[in-house]
Amino acid sequence: MSAQEQIRRLSAPDIRARKGGEPIVCLTSYHAHTARLVDAYCDVVLVGDSLGMVMHGLETTVPVTLDMMILQGHAVMRGSKHALVVVDLPFGSYEASKEQAFASAARVMKETGCGAIKIEGGRRMAETIAFLTERGVPVMGHVGLTPQAINTIGSFRAQGRDESDWAPIEADARAVTDAGAFAVVLEAIAEPLGRRISAQIKIPTIGIGASVACDGQILVLEDMLGLSPRVPKFVKRFGDLGPSIEHAIKSYAQEVRARTFPGPEHVYPMRSGAVTELPQRGKGPSRA
């Protein structure tokens, strides 16, 4: 085994121990190839249920299934070797009971080999988080804007922009912490609230539209690469891949239509160097 291969994957306790230390870098990935790129620079790779919107063009994450998460979780595990891989439990796979949550989490961990799962919800999920962590399932919490609840909250609006709305969000972050989560995502909350929660709780906060004072940050990879057509305010586009992908596809189409691709360097000559005359398409020997 090479020295490179001996590098141990980060674990949930490693991430938990980073509270107040060096910022924790996280991105989403759903595929082996992007996982390889992300893995080289990130501490955590999240196989988010955002894959429903990004890969499948769904309007929300609600229709995403456990099988979809497992398939992509497996791909990300194959593509990565250093980061902690966290897989989202999708809507409907954990809310009914703590036993349902354990069955889903165990399936995800056994079938993908990932190191942790993430579930949305604060106080209402505290009992479930405690049940899972006591049984060997590291849990990342997710409070603030919880996209799986879109049908009850009505829109993907930022939370806690009036101080009078802070108390329930703070209570959610504390509940997740006390229940044993190793880290918690704070999504789309007012900046001072993100800062305050990060200072208050004992586990790392991972911000997405929260605050630079969070212990780490996460973005959806396709959003920050400039591939997603619409992105929330909190996304900074670190790349602009959309136009360069379009340019590459347009050039390919032009070259195929002009018969300039494939060129001689992209085809296999005969070993002997002998050239076999083959009839050109549409110009075969006449049957006369």
Residues with catalytic roles: 187
Minimum distance from CB of 88 to ligand KIV (Å)? 5
Where are the strands (E) in 43-182, listed by range? 44-47, 84-88, 116-118, 139-144
# residues near ligand KIV by CB under 6 A: 11
The answer to the question of residue 185 lying near ligand KIV (CB under 6 A) is yes
Determine, following the binding rule CB under 6 A, whether residue 220 of this chain makes contact with ligand KIV. Answer: yes
Nearer to ligand KIV, 229 or 285 (CB): 229
What gap in Å lies between CA 170 and CA 214, rounded to an integer?
Answer: 14
Q: Cβ 280 to ligand KIV, closest distance in Å?
A: 51
Residue 60 to residue 64: CA distance in whole angstroms? 9
Q: Does 172 bind ligand KIV (CB under 6 A)?
A: no
| Contact positions with ligand KIV (CB under 6 A) in 138-167 | none
Near ligand KIV by CB under 6 A: residue from 10, 34, 42, 50: 50
Residue 94 neighbours by CB under 8 Å, 6+ apart:
100, 101, 104, 105, 119, 128
- Candidate segments 4-12, 41-49, 157-165, 267-275, binder of ligand KIV by CB under 6 A: 41-49
Applying CB under 6 A, which of residues 12, 28, 139, 173 lies at the interface with ligand KIV?
28
Which among 136, 145, 99, 96 is positioned nearest to 117, based on CA atoms?
136
To ligand KIV, the closest distance from the beta carbon of 51 in angstroms equals 7
CA distance 116 to 177: 15
Please, what is the minimum distance in Å from the beta carbon of residue 49 to ligand KIV? Answer: 5
Q: What are phi and psi of 221, to 5 degrees?
A: -55, -50
Figure out which of the listed residues 218, 222, 225, 228 binds ligand KIV, where binding follows CB under 6 A.
218
Does position 48 interact with ligand KIV (CB under 6 A)? The reply is yes
Least distance between ligand KIV and beta carbon 228 (Å): 11
Residue nearest to ligand KIV (CB): 48
Across 200-228, b (16+ Cβ under 10 Å) vs e yields ebebbbbbbbbbeebbbbbbbbbbbbbbb
Q: What CA–CA distances, in Å, run from 159 to 168, 171, 192?
A: 10, 14, 12
* Interface with ligand KIV (CB under 6 A): 28, 46, 48-50, 88, 185, 187, 208, 218, 220
